[in-house]
Structure 1
Amino acid sequence: MPMNVRRVLLLLSVFCMAQVAVAQTRSGSAGSKGQTLLPAGEAPSLGTVDWLRRMHAASRQRTYVGTFVVSSPTGNLSSSRIWHVADGDQLLERIEALSGAPRSTFRRNDHVMTFFPEDKVVKSEKRENLDFFPNLPGAPDSTIGEFYDVRLLGKGRVAGFDADVLQLAPRDGLRFGYRVWSERRSGLVVALQTVDVEGRVVEQSAFSELQFDAPVKTHALAQMMGNTAGYRVEKSELERTTPTAEGWALREPVAGFKPVNCYRRALDGVAKPERTMQWTFSDGLASVSLFVEPYDAQRPAREAVMTMGATSTLARRLSDKGGDWWLTVVGEVPPQTLQAFAQSLVRTR
């Protein structure tokens, strides 16, 4: 998947998707459905973890339709239309790209299908851990407060809705900071700015139009998702594994980042899944993925570090007595964080 497409889909999940095993808000913040709607003029007094859990829960418990825009200081601009339905234990979405190549992405819990009408191709995959914001691990004793401080900056207004404006400031240079607009009554994230260590905005996203409790039918989205007539369906199968089984380890952990999962998979839909390892880490907000595959001398690639918006990519050749490997590290973090992962990765067999 092209990096600009991947980043757009990642940012879509900032607003649209939370993982199934979400930690509920603490007592006092939760109502009969796990989320209290606050009076319009009242801002909750919460700690770092509680603010994030409130925003996290809102994306699971509200149904809405909206249009949002993603932009960066370099002039990149993307927009999409979202239909998001929360129906008991079922989460369904339709995400229609309004810019770039035509594509429609449907999500039903952990099942994701992306339709490319120009190529008449549907890419289907299961994702146990969907990227979203905030990406809380779900444990009540989350350590995210050790690496970020939260401060209520004041009030704002996005797409006609009153919002609490928060600042999530990192305590070191390994992660970005965030300014978040959380809809006052529900807690839903309606705008987000990613900022670097000097406070400069590197990427921002916001709803330009939003309607809560829109009349979207679960069965209608499910029918659209299942209508693959005339398309070639390409399934991406992930096989769970461990870094130890694949012969890899980190010499030293990168502060704050915990391993989330590890799979064998294909990077380009062509290579055999057993040839590529994907090892993913998260600090509770940002995520980093390490892709390792045998180096192919017939397809030489350039070593590089690239940045687009908040996403950085590092590509490097690794060599040891066991052979040559190609490492790709991708994350919504500063480039030095990717360097820390690359320098710590070692072959164990």
Structure 2
Amino acid sequence: MPPTKHRSVEVTMSMFPFARTCVGVGAVSAVLAWSPLAAWAGDLAKVAPVATASSAQDMSIHQWLERLHEASRRRAYIGTFVVSAGPEIAASKIWHVCDGAQQMERIETLTGTARTTLRRNDEVLTLVPDAKIALKEKREALRLFPDLLKAPGQQIENLYAARIVGSERIAGYDAAVVDFLPKDELRYGYRVWSEKKTGLVMKLQTRDTSGQVLEQVAFTELQFDAPVKMDVLAKQMETPKGYQLVKPVLRKTTPEAEGWRMSQPVQGFQSMSCHTRSDAEARTPSAVQWVFSDGLASVSLFLETFDPKRHTKEKALSAGATHSMTRRLGDHWVTAMGEVPLDTLRQFVEALERTR
């Protein structure tokens, strides 16, 4: 069964357009998701120079994404951010620190169910105090606000265009405002507020083809180069006394090895990863998660054996920018989920084929 999405700090298998390489910001209803970073002001200036009005106008979308990605990985900071999708709002606090290649952070929900997510590179520990549960796992493709981007591929130029909108103050900082406009109707567009000196994403909106805001995440307060200690966060990665430790078993695999293929690709989306997921005691059958991304948006296909007790009705759901749809395919049940239009998900599901 596909994991439930958590917003604000932990959107279970992904989050936010930019690289939600697993699945995106969607359903704020559950609470939020993950993120990263790595040097100081002097070093950052070499990687992400301040964009002047003229130079910013000349930057391609590839250059913009590289700048935003590097900025999210090269700063220590403490901040509070809010995610909204329709009538739902969720807030979280983030502490982020970096030491060379090592990234560490703590994200704590401030609304809804209490939840703390700690991350050290690809190691993730999620604590749910009310249930006294600690979920420990490795995730290769985490993307949390404000690090919503993976390093973009060159194909991004064929899918989106960058357009400077202006400037605005966010959480006390001057930010450049830029639109990432899709070149077809298979994906959404994004408006990004980027702090002018560092390039850090301060605010992000996911917009449909008519320009309507589907989802938004923004810092309400932010302190750069905050005195966050790496060793202090490292100690918090230990499972608290009295908590039940849950460790899902993830195994890398390939679609071919699991008996799946796409009869035709969905334009602009590339296969990123494939793995099986089950609980440590193997009490439930393994589900396959196949992840696709176009560099900004992502889609996950969850493939599992059909169970008439659980899989009772095919349906489509939406929350914010995230859509999901389910369908029976022979002896299997398919759940498609991503921060893309529903028609895009439908193309994925219709192209999916069983090879054995």
Q: TM-score, normalised by structure 2?
A: 0.86
Aligned partner of residue 205 in structure 1, secondary structure: strand
Structure 1 pair 41/193, CA: closer, same or farther in 2 (3 Å)?
same
Distance 2:274 2:150 in 1: 18
| Residue 346 (structure 2) aligns with | 339
The answer as to whether partners of 2:171 and 2:222 remain within 8 angstroms in 1 is yes
The 5 Å alignment of 1:184-223 reads 184-223=196-235
Alignment: residue pair count? 332
Could you report, residue by residue, the CA deviation over 1:159-215 in whole angstroms, capped at 9, with x for unpaired residues?
000011000000111100000000000000010000001110000110000000000
Aligned to 1:327: 334
Which SS does the other structure have where 2:161 is aligned? strand
Q: CA deviation at 1:87?
A: 1.5
Cα distance, 1:209–1:86 mapped onto 2, change above 3 Å: same
Aligned to 1:116: 128
TM alignment of 1:1-349, pairs within 5 A: 1-5=3-7, 9=11, 10-11=14-15, 17-18=35-36, 35-38=47-50, 44=56, 45-73=58-86, 75-132=87-144, 134-137=148-151, 139=153, 142-266=154-278, 275-319=286-330, 324-349=331-356
By relative contact order (CA 8 Å, sep 6+), the higher-ranking structure is 2
Report the AA paired with residue 199 of structure 2: G
1:135: how far off? Answer: 3.2
Unaligned runs of 5+ in 1: 21-29
* Stretch of structure 1 that moved more, 129-138 or 97-106: 129-138
CA shift digits 1:96-145 (9 cap, x unpaired): 00011111000000001100011111001101111345433555xx2101
Indicate if the aligned counterparts of 1:43 and 1:184 stay in contact, CA closer than 8 A.
Answer: no
Q: For 1:265, what is the secondary structure of its paired residue? A: strand
What SS does the aligned partner of 1:146 have?
A: helix
Counterpart CA distance in 1 for 2:133 and 2:34 is 24
Displacement of 1:301? 2.7
Cα separation, partners in 2 of 1:291 and 1:149, compared to 1, 3 Å: same
Deviates more, 1:30-39 or 1:333-342: 30-39
Is the Cα–Cα contact under 8 Å of residues 8 and 78 in structure 1 kept in the other structure? Answer: no
SS in structure 2 at match of 1:169: strand
The structural deviation recorded for 1:5 is 4.2
* CA distance 1:271–1:292, change in 2 (3 Å): farther
SS across alignment from 1:221:
helix
The alignment-based identity, stated in percent, is 44
Amino acid corresponding to residue 302 of structure 2 in structure 1: F
Shift of 1:148: 0.2
Q: Is the Cα contact below 8 Å between 1:84 and 1:93 reproduced in 2?
A: yes
For the structure 1 residues 162 and 272, does the alpha-carbon distance in structure 2 shift closer, same or farther, using more than 3 Å as the test? same
Cα distance between partner residues in 2 of 1:85 and 1:42: 32
TM-score, scaled relative to structure 1: 0.88
Distance in 2 of aligned mates of 1:194 and 1:213: 28
Change (3 A) 1:154 1:87: same
Shift of 1:86: 1.6
Let me know the Cα RMSD of the aligned residues: 2.5
Deviations 1:6-51 (A, max 9, x none): 885344796962599xxxxxxxxx9577524528888634111010
Secondary structure class of the residue paired with 1:125: strand
Q: Quote the Cα distance in structure 2 between the aligned partners of 1:33 and 1:157.
A: 21
Amino acid at match of 2:264: E
CA contact (8 A) 1:177 1:197 kept: yes
Segments of structure 2 that go 5 or more residues without pairing to the other structure are 19-32
Tell me, yes or no, if the aligned pair for 1:49 and 1:144 is still in contact at 8 Å: yes
Deviation, structure 1 residue 236: 1.5
Note the C-alpha offset of 1:232: 1.1
Question: CA distance change for structure 1 residues 19 and 147 in 2, over 3 Å: closer, same or farther?
Answer: farther
3-state secondary structure, aligned to 2:236: helix
Task: Work out whether residues 165 and 178 of structure 2, in 8 Å CA contact, stay in contact via their aligned partners in 1.
Answer: yes
* Counterparts in 2 of 1:34 and 1:240: CA distance versus 1, 3 Å: farther
Provide the C-alpha distance between the structure 2 equivalents of 1:189 and 1:54, rounded to a whole number of angstroms.
10
- Residues in 2 aligned to 1:256 and 1:227: alpha-carbon distance in whole angstroms: 41
CA contact under 8 A between 2:34 and 2:142: conserved in structure 1? Answer: no
Report the Cα offset of residue 273 of structure 1.
7.2
SS of 2:142 mapped into structure 1 = coil
CA distance 1:178–1:12, change in 2 (3 Å) = closer
Q: For the residues of structure 2 that align with 1:289 and 1:31, how far apart are their CA atoms?
A: 36
Q: CA deviation at 1:77?
A: 0.4
2:335 corresponds to which letter in structure 1?
A: T
Counterpart of 1:153, as a letter, is: V
